[in-house]
Amino acid sequence: MVKGNWAVYEEDFYSMTLILQTLMRSANSRSVMLIDKTGQLISTVGTQPDFDITSFSSLAAADFGANAELAKMVGEKDFATLVHQGLDDSMYLSMIANRVILVVLFDRKTSLGLVRLKAKRAGDELLIVLNKVFDKLHYKNEDIAATTLGADFAAEAESEIDSLFKD
Amino acid sequence: MSLINYSSREINCKIVYYGPGLCGKTTNLQHIYSRVPQDTRGKMISLATEMDRTLFFDFLPLELGQIRGFRTRFHLYTVPGQVYYNASRKLILKGVDGIVFVADSQIDRFEANIESLVNMHDNLSEHGLSSEKVPLVIQYNKRDLPRVVSVPDLEKELNPKGAPFYEAVALRGTGVFDTLKLACKLVLKTLG
């Protein structure tokens, strides 16, 4: 389970990024991100935000996680979408395939209704790509990383870790 | 679970610092943050109460650099140690690749360590993870304090399976990097 059982290959990455770009343009949003539900950024398109995207991703995942627990408490299976509305900037988050979070950042140039509509469509398209990704991973089994990263990956990483993390 | 992106050539791994309240999890991260080069670390996020107790989590991203052409990153998280924040702890464990269990060596906190360890195993199994499969490093913290349990006694109660351990004084940084380094290495071994 903890082995590298979640990997994105080039062609799927481009398919996903293309969907994000289409969504960004059609929803007239500022930027769109795809984040793994454990808080790791997969892809981002649009205006580069002036905040730390890595931290943003971990907080977005935590946000979703906390809301999923709240959903269970009130008797819902989950809250599949979340909206945070600000004075100028807002964000729309939606969980896809119970694995990735689609985040749309938008301002007053567009409307929540349009974002919601376009994000729903993009979510359906992403689901198709993600299912393809999961199928591939399933066929290649959990040792996918071991076979593609190479046996000496860990050895090389060790020396990097030693030189970087020292008192 | 680590995320390997073959297109942007990135590997992201998640290490969680677990342990009872006030055992020094946040202190570990603060020391790491203060000592690693600026271009290696991202922004440290602490979702804490006004009393500086961790409410949801602390988060510190570290960039290892390029390894065989892959930008390798570790995301370090701490869980809130206080007993009543279990829902948050469970959430943070989602997708974990490696765990550092920070034990408080003080005699008064002996029971709290056991309770936290049992809680960790319970939460891991709720995520369908077995604690034997997730790389684990134990850190016996606060070794400088006067009334502490001996390491053999701590080992007997907290580490029957013989996971690697370090003695530490996180406040001064002793043992902090040894613990982190080993945790990172064990996680990367599961990949390559």
A152 vs B contacts (CB less than 8 Å) = 68, 192
Q: Which two tokens stand for residue A99?
A: 């694995």
Selected residue of A20, A35, A40 to mutate for chain B interface (largest B Cβ count, 10 A): A40
Query: Rounded to whole angstroms, how far apart are CA atoms A100 and A123?
Result: 10
Q: Tokens at residue A53, please?
A: 């995207």
Confirm if B10 and A57 have CB atoms less than 8 A apart: no
The CA distance from B110 to A149, in Å, is 42
Among the residue ranges A27-31, A141-145, A162-166, the one predicted with the least confidence is: A141-145
Provide the whole-model pTM.
0.87
User: What is the mean predicted confidence (pLDDT) over A102-124?
Assistant: 96
Residue A139 has pLDDT above 80, yes or no: no
Report how far apart, in Å, the C-alpha atoms of A157 and of each of A163, B8, B67 are. 10, 18, 6
CA pseudo-torsion sign B163, B164, B169, B173: negative
Can you tell me whether residue B3 is helix, strand or coil?
Answer: strand
For residue range B31-90, list pLDDT tens digits in order: 999 999 999 998 898 888 777 788 888 999 999 888 888 889 999 999 998 888 898 899
The pLDDT of A109-133, averaged and rounded, is 95
Q: Which of A134-138, B35-39, B136-140 has the lowest mean pLDDT?
A: A134-138
Check CB contact of A18 with chain B, cutoff 8 Å.
no
**pLDDT, mean of residues A71-75:** 92
Whether the predicted pLDDT of B168 surpasses 90: yes
Write the CA distances from A119 to A27, A91, A106, B45, B101, integer angstroms: 8, 12, 12, 29, 40
Most confident of B1-5, B130-134, B136-140: B136-140
B111's CB contacts (< 8 A; 6+ apart) are: none
- The candidate with the shortest Cα–Cα distance to B53, out of B31, B85, B76, B75, is B85
Quote the CA–CA distance of B2 and B140 in Å, as a whole number: 27
Flag whether pLDDT at A126 surpasses 50.
yes
Chain A contacts in chain B segment 107-136 (CB below 8 A): 128-130, 133-135
* B-chain residues near A43 (CB < 8 A): 8
B62 forms beta bridges with B41, B74
CA distance B19 to chain A (A): 19
pLDDT tier at A148 (50, 70, 90 boundaries)? low
Determine the 3-state secondary structure of A21 from DSSP.
Answer: helix
